[in-house]
């Protein structure tokens, strides 16, 4: 039997999502985000993370959900982008819940993702935690379009002077 995948679980409204813990660099409290002119609606702007400019994407907007005002629980989950050493991106979520192993030994693929109004390439599968469904997101699928649009110096550490 396969070992359960360890994930960071987080919520949007009453929906539970997860990302593989290996993709998560850091979880930050919400902070000021510098807007970018003519950026797509889901790209909120940039934050400074120890001298690196990190683009921040609003998961609510990316998933086609309505806007929500930040609360004390709002977090920015900083992810390492797959296949691109040095780049990272922040994902604004309503709240982070925990780091945990899903109840199932891995998540089940979901071929019918379009029926749930999500683009299929964003979803790696569906798992369970404490009797609730957990939508496991695919990091590469979430940011497929953005990977080609990131500025060359985004999310790379500042060079020492």
Is 108 inside any structural domain? yes
Residues 84-97: what's their mean pLDDT? Answer: 88
Q: How many domains does the chain have?
A: 1
The continuous run of DSSP H or E covering 145 comes out as helix 144-147
Domain encompassing residue 136: 8-147
Is 103 inside any structural domain? yes
Q: What is the pLDDT of residue 154?
A: 46
- Outline where DSSP puts E strands in the chain: 6-12, 15-20, 24-29, 43-49, 52-58, 75-80, 88-93, 95-101, 123-129, 132-137
Name the DSSP class of 91: E
| N-terminal to C-terminal alpha carbon distance within the chain | 52
Is 155 inside any structural domain? no
Task: Indicate the pLDDT class of residue 103, thresholds 50, 70 and 90.
Answer: confident
Residue 79 belongs to domain with CATH number: 2.40.50.180
Is 153 inside any structural domain? no
The continuous run of DSSP H or E covering 61 comes out as helix 59-62
Q: What is the pLDDT of residue 113?
A: 44
Positive or negative, the CA dihedral 51, 24, 121, 82 is positive
Average pLDDT over the chain reads: 81
**16 DSSP β-pair partners:** 11
Is 159 inside any structural domain? no
pLDDT by residue (tens digit) across 49-73?
Answer: 988 899 999 999 988 888 889 999 9
Determine the Cα–Cα distance for residues 8 and 136; give it in Å rounded to an integer: 10
């Amino acid at each position: 039997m396969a070992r359960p995948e360890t994930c960071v679980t987080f919520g949007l409204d009453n929906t539970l999502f997860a990302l593989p813990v290996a993709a998560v660099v850091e979880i930050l409290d919400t902070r000021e985000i510098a807007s970018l002119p003519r950026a797509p609606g889901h790209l909120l702007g940039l934050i400074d993370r120890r001298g690196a400019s990190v683009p921040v994407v609003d998961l609510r907007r990316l998933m086609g959900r309505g806007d929500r005002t930040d609360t004390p629980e709002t977090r920015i989950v900083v992810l390492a982008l797959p296949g691109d050493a040095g780049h990272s991106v922040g994902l604004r979520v309503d709240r982070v819940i925990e780091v945990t192993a899903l109840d199932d030994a891995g998540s089940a693929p979901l071929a019918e993702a379009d029926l749930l109004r999500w683009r299929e390439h964003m979803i790696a599968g569906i798992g369970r935690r404490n009797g609730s469904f957990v939508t496991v997101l695919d990091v590469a699928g979430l940011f497929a379009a953005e990977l080609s649009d990131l500025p060359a110096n985004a999310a790379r550490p500042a060079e020492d002077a």
